[in-house]
Structure 1
Amino acid sequence: MNPSRVESRFDRVALAVGALALVALAVRLVGLGARPVHWDEARVGYWSLRYLESGYLTYRPVAGGPLVYILTRTSLSLFGTSDFALRLPVALVGAALPLVALLFRSHLDDDETVAFAAVLALSPLLVYYGRFARGDVLAIAFALAAFGFGLRLADGGGRQNAYGLAAAVALAIASSGLGIVALACLAVAGLLVFDHAALLRSSDPAAMRLGSLAARVRGNSTPAARAVLVFVGLYVFTFAPRAGVTDDAGLYSPGTIIAAIDVALFDSVRRFLGVRVEHRYPGGTHEYLPYLADFLETLASAALPVTLIAVAVFVADRYTSGGPRTVVAAAVYWAGATIVFVPMLTEVSAPWLGVYAVVPLAIPAAVGLAALARWGRRALDAGDAPRVAAVALVLLALVAQTGAVATSEVYAPSDRDTRMAHYAQPSHEFTEFRDNLSTWVGPTDDDAVDVVYYGSSMYVGDGVADFPPVPERWGERLPMAWYVHRTGADTRSVTSPVELRESVDTTPVVVASADERSTLAPVLEGYVAHEYDTGLWGRPIVVFVRK
C-alpha cells in the first residue's frame, strides 16, 4: 500500500478522533460547576485545599488514591477554590479519553476506531462522572491506556509502548484503590485470551509462546529496565509524602527524600493492605448480590445501548468463521471480570462503579456501531430503502436514548429519581447555601468565629479533620465543610445551648441537624433559619443566619 495513502488515512482518523475529544471537552465543561458537590467531592476538595495551604500530603487509603489530590491542588491554586476548579482535572482526563482509541487502531478498522472514540466521548455515564471529583474516571482511563500500550507492545511495537504501559499502570494505581481491581480484571482478560489461543490448531503450544515472550524480554532488557524505572518513578512521585512540618518525611525536603521514597514504596503497600484487606474483615464485608444488582441496574439505566451492542457483537464475533477477534474477546472478558469482581471488592455500592465496565464494553460496542453504519451504507448504495430505514431507525433510537439520559441525568438538577446520582449528592436547593455562604459569613476576622457547628453529631475537635482518617462525625458536616473552609471561615464545635450563647453576638452562621431547630430557635433570636437536604433525600440540616 502506498505510504502516503496510509498516512492520509491515519490523518483522517486522527482528525476525527481529535474532533471527538474536543466535543468530549465541551460536554464536560458546560455547567461543570453548576451542581453542588457530592460528599465525596467535598472530601477531595477539603483535603486538597488543606494540602494547598499546608503543603502536607500523605497517602491514606481511606481517602482514595493520591493522584486526585495532587491534580486538584494544582487546579485550585491556578483557578481558585470553586466547584469548577475542583472538578476540572477529572473533566480534562475524561475529555482526553477518546484519544486513547488511537492506541487500538492496529486492531480496529478506521470506522471502528472513530466509533470507539465517540462512545468514550459521549457515553452518559462517562460524561456524568467525568464531571465528578473522584478518581474512578482517572483509574479506568489509565487502565484503558495500559491495555492499548500492552496490545501495541505485544504486536512488536517500539520501546515507547513499554514506557507508556509502565506509566499508565502506575497512574491507574495512584488514581484509586479500584484502579488495582481494574488492572487485575484486565490481567484476567489477558490470561483468558492467552489460554483461548491454545484451543486453536494454528496456535503454538503455550510453553512455546511463553518462551518466545521470555526471549523478547531478554532481548529488550534495557528498555524493560527503563520501563520499570518509569513505573517506580511515577509511583514514588504520586505516593511519596509531602511534608508541611519539618519533622515529617517529604519528597521535596533534601534531608528526608530517602525516607519519603521508603514510605512511598513500602509503607503505601502496608497501609493499603491494612485498610483494604486486614482490617476490612469481617466488619467491612457486605452481601454480594445486592451490590451486583445495583451494578447491573446502573448499566441498564445509564449504558443500555453500549451494553446490548457489546454483548451482541461478542456473540456474533465469537461464532463467526473469522472470529473471535483478540481485541473484542479481551474487552468483553475485561468487562465480565469487572462485573464479577468490582461489586465484590468495592466498599460502597454507587453508580460511578459502572464506568469500570462501560469503558471496556465500548470496544465491542464500537465494532457493532461501525458494522451497522457499513451495512446501512451498502444498502444506500444498492438503493435498498427498507434496510436504510431500518439502520436509520436503530441509529436514531441510540442517539435519542443517549440524549434523553444526558438531558435528564447529566445536566438536569439532581433529585431522588436521578439514577446516576448517588444518595450523597445534595439536592438542587442546596445551591442556595453554596451561593450565599460567603455573603452570610462576611469578612473573616482572625479573632472571631464565623461558623459554629452545633450538636454532638457534628462535634469535631480543632485540627482533627486536617487530614484523613477523621472521626465519623466529621462526615456529618459534608458537603458544608468544603464550602465553609474555602471561604476562609473560622469554625467552632459546641454541644450545648450554654456554649452557643457565648458565640451568639459574634457568629454569623450556625449549622446543625434539622432535629435541633426547636432547641436552637429560642437561643438564636435575630437569626433566620434555612433548611436544606444534604442528600438526594433525607439528612436535612438547619442553617441559622444572623440578620
Structure 2
Amino acid sequence: MSHADDSADRAGRVTLAVVALTLLALAVRLVGLGARSFHWDEGRVGYWTLRFAETGAFEYRPVAGGPFLYLVDQPVFALLGPSDFSARLVVALVGGLLPLAALLFRRRLAADETVLFAGVLALSPTLVYYSRFLRGDLPLAAFSLVAFGCLVSLVDTGRRRYLYGATLAGALALTTSGFVVGYVACWLVAGWLVFDHVRVYREEGGTALDRVSRYGRTLVAWATPLARAFLLAVGVVLFFYAPRSADGTGPDLWNPATFPAVLEEAFYGSFRKFVGVRLEYRDGHEFISYLVAHFELVVTLAAPMVVLGLFGFAVERYAGQNRPVVAFASYWTGASLLFFPVITELTAPWVVVHSLAPLTLLSGVGAAKVVRFAQAAVGHRNASRTGVAALLLLAVVAQAGAVTASSVYGPSDRDNRMAQYGQPAGDLGAMATNASAAIAGNDGTDVVYVGERFYLTDDASADYPPVPESWGNRLPLPWYFERMDAETSSVSNATRLDALDETPPVVVAEPKFRAALDARLDGYRVTEYELALWNREILVYTRR
C-alpha cells in the first residue's frame, strides 16, 4: 500500500469514528429531551417565540438575548407544535452535530487527537446538559468553534468554501447571544499571542513585519471572495436582526418600502440597544468573586476536561511541538476565564460552556497523550505505568459517566450543580396536563394568578420584553399556558376572585391564600409545585 493510500485509509477511519461519535452525541441529547421542566430562561424564550409567531411582530431586545432561537424555533413549532421537546430540538441538534467540527482540525491534529476531540465534544456532561437547554450559549460556543475550525482549514487548504463556512458560522454566532463580545475579546488576545509567538515566526521565517506584509498581499489577492463573504455575513445578520411589523406601519423586513429603516434598525439600532442595555445601564459586580465562582464551576462541572486540558497544554508547550492551533486554544481558554466573569451579570453554570468550547480541543490533545502513554507502557510491559494510565482513564470515564447520570438525566434539585436556581425542582408536566384538560372548551379567562407577587394591571404588557418583575415571578408557567392558547389574568388577593364574572378553570396562587381559596374553589384539584430549586412554592387549582 502506498503512502497516499495509507493516508487516505487512515483519514477514512478517522472520519468514520467521528461520524459514529456524532450519532452517539445526537442520541444522548435527544433521549428524554422534553422530560425536564422548563427553566425560567427557557420559559422566557419559549413564551416570546410563541407571542412573536402569534402577532407576526419581532424586534431585537437585548434583555431577551440574541434573536437566533426566537426565529429558528418558529418553523419548528409550526411543524411539530410547541412542546418542551420541540423547543429544545434546535439546540440539541446543534450540540449533537458539533463533534463533526473536529474534522476541521484533522490536518493540524493527529488521528487519535481528532477522534478524542470529537469524543469530548460528544460526551462532555456540561455540553450535553446545555445542548438540552433552550438558551443561546451552546449554539454560540458551537458556531464559534466551527468558525475557528473553518479558518484553520482555510489556511491549510486555501479552499474558498472554508472562508464562506467561517463567515456563516461567525455570523450565526453574532445572532445567538450577547456573550459573543467575550469571544471577540478572547480571539483578539489569542490571535495576537499566537502571531507574536517566537516559535511561530521562526518556523515561517522573516520578521513580524514581513509576515504582516505577506498577509496584506494575501488579502488583496482574496478581495473578491472576501467581498462575497462580507455580503453573506451582512445577509445573515440582517435576516436575524431586522424588525418585523405586525400591522405594516413600522420597519418590516418583508416590506421593500421600509428597507432603509430596516437596515438602520438591524445594524445601528441593534448595536445601540445592545450597548445601552449591556454596557451603559448594566449594574456592576465584584470581579474577584465572579472570577472565583466561574473558576470553581469550571472545575466542578468539568474536572476531567480540566485535568486532560492542563496535561495536554503542559506537554504540548514544554515537551511537544507547540502547534499554533493548540496554542490558540490554550490562550482562548485562559482569556475566557477572565473575560466571561467580567461580562456576565449572573454566576450561572451555563457560562461555563464558553470556557469549555476551546478547552475541548486541549482535552482531546491531552487524552491522546495519555492513551499513547498507556499504549507505550503496555508495549514495554511496564505494569506500574500501565496501571497509572489505566486508573487515570478509568477515573475520567467514571467521573464523566457519573455526572451525566446524576446531573444530565437525574433529578433537578439542590445537589445538581448544573441546575441553576431558576430550574423548577419538580415536574410541571402533570400541571400542564391538568390545566389543559380544565380549560378545554372554556370561554373567557382560563387562568387567573392570585397574589401581589404575580399581579399585573394588564397581562398584555408582557407580550414583549422588557416585562414587569411580577411577570417574571410567574416563570416558567407563561410558557405552558401560552402553548395551550390560554387567556390569563390576575388579581392581587383571593377576595378579588369574587368580583370576576365567573370562576376560571385554573387558579395559580401564593401558598398563603390556601385557606381562602379552598373555601371558594370547592370541587377543584389543588396541587403544590416548586417553580425553582427552593423557596418558590405555588398552588395550582384546576377544575375537575
Shift of 1:429: 4.1
Alignment of 1:318-397 (within 5 A): 318-320=317-319, 322-397=320-395
1:366 corresponds to which letter in structure 2? G
- Give the match for residue 449 of structure 1: 445
Which SS does the other structure have where 1:543 is aligned?
A: strand
User: Match for 2:482 among 474, 482, 485?
Assistant: 485
Select between 17-26 and 517-526 the one with higher mean Cα deviation: 517-526
User: What is the one-letter code of the residue matched to 1:185?
Assistant: C
Secondary structure of the residue that 1:463 maps to in structure 2? Answer: helix
Corresponding position of 2:454: 458
**Contact 1:44–1:133 at 8 Å: present in 2 too?**
yes
Task: Report what 1:6 is aligned to.
Answer: 7
Q: Secondary structure at the match of 1:175?
A: coil
Instruction: Confirm or deny that 1:168 pairs with 2:156.
Output: no
CA positional deviation for 1:530: 1.9
Q: Distance in 1 between matches of 2:189 and 2:413?
A: 38
- Assess if the C-alpha contact under 8 Å between 1:444 and 1:489 holds in 2: no
Structure 1 residue 477: deviation in Å? 1.1
Equivalent position of 2:311 in the other structure: 312
Partner SS for 2:541: strand
1:23 match: 24
Q: Letter of the aligned partner of 2:100 in structure 1?
A: L
State the distance in 1 between where 2:157 and 2:14 align.
Answer: 22
Q: What is the alpha-carbon distance in structure 1 between the residues aligned to residue 315 and residue 369 of structure 2?
A: 12
What TM-score comes out, normalization by structure 2 length?
0.95
- Is 1:531 paired with 2:525? no
Partners in 2 of 1:440 and 1:336 — Cα distance?
Answer: 53
2:473 to 459, 476, 481: 476
Deviations 1:479-519 (A, max 9, x none): 10000111111111222445311337441111122233344
Look up the SS of the partner of 1:452 in the other structure.
strand
Residues of 2 paired with 1:465 and 1:505: CA distance?
24
Deviation (angstroms), 1:63: 0.3
Matches within 5 A, 1:9-158: 9-155=10-156, 157-158=158-159
Q: Which runs of 4+ in 1 moved over 4 A?
A: 198-203
Distance change (3 Å), C-alpha of 1:515 and 1:294: farther
Give the structure-1-normalised TM-score: 0.95
Which residue identity does 2:187 align to in structure 1? L
Does structure 1 conserve the Cα–Cα contact (< 8 Å) formed by 2:329 and 2:362? Answer: yes
Paired with 1:506 and 1:517, the residues of 2 have a C-alpha distance of: 16
| 1:444 to partner: Cα distance | 3.8
CA distance in structure 2 between the aligned counterparts of 1:316 and 1:387, rounded to whole angstroms:
17
Describe the SS at the equivalent of 2:66.
coil
Farther off after superposition, 380-389 or 109-118: 380-389
Instruction: Give the 3 Å change call, closer, same or farther, for CA 500–359 of structure 1 in structure 2.
Output: same
- Residue 6 of structure 1: how far off its partner (Å): 2.8
RMSD (CA atoms): 1.8
Q: Deviations over 1:231-282 (max 9, x none)?
A: 11111111111222211222122332332222112111111111111112xx
Alignment length (residue pairs): 541
Counterpart position of 2:287: 288
Q: Secondary structure at the match of 2:525?
A: strand
Q: Secondary structure at the match of 1:246?
A: coil
Q: Secondary structure at the match of 1:394?
A: helix
Q: What residue in structure 2 maps to residue 302 of structure 1?
A: 301
Quote the Cα distance in structure 2 between the aligned partners of 1:295 and 1:373: 30
- Please report how far the alpha carbon of residue 216 of structure 1 lies from its aligned counterpart in structure 2 after TM superposition: 0.4
Q: Helix, strand or coil: the match of 1:464?
A: helix
Query: How big is the shift at 1:156?
Result: 5.2
Measure the CA separation in 2 of the matches of 1:246 and 1:498. 43
TM superposition shift of 1:399: 0.8
Return the match for 1:214 from 213, 216, 220. Answer: 216
1:259 matched to 2:261? The reply is yes
**Identity percentage of aligned residues:** 47
Checking the alignment, whether the CA contact within 8 Å between 2:426 and 2:529 is kept in structure 1 is no
Separation (CA, whole Å) in 2 of partners of 1:433 and 1:467 = 25
Contact map agreement 2:310 2:366 (CA 8 A) in 1: no
1:422 to 411, 420, 423: 420
Residues 420, 206 of structure 1: alpha-carbon distance in 2 compared, 3 angstrom cutoff: same
CA distances 1:100-159 after superposition (whole Å, capped 9, x unpaired): 111111110111000000000000000000000000000011111111122223335222
Match in the other structure for 2:243 = 241
Shift of 1:375: 2.3
> Where in structure 2 are the equivalents of 1:432-443 lying within 5 Å?
432-443=430-441
Q: Distance in 2 between matches of 1:41 and 1:377?
A: 45
**Matched residues in 1 for 2:68 and 2:427: separation?**
31
Paired residue for 1:510, among 503, 507, 513? Answer: 507
Q: Deviations over 1:340-392 (max 9, x none)?
A: 01011111110011111112111111111112212222333333344333322
| SS state at 1:125 partner | helix
1:503 partner letter = L
Q: Provide the rounded CA distance (Å) in 1 between the counterparts of 2:171 and 2:63.
A: 19
Query: Do the aligned partners of residues 42 and 368 (structure 1) sit closer, same or farther apart at CA in structure 2, a change above 3 Å counting?
Result: same
Deviations 1:166-187 (A, max 9, x none): 1111111101000221232122
Find the aligned partners of 1:412 and 1:156 in 2 and give their Cα distance: 44
Distance change (3 Å), C-alpha of 1:216 and 1:105 = same
1:426 maps to a residue whose letter is P
Equivalent pair of 1:305/1:398 in contact (CA under 8 Å): yes
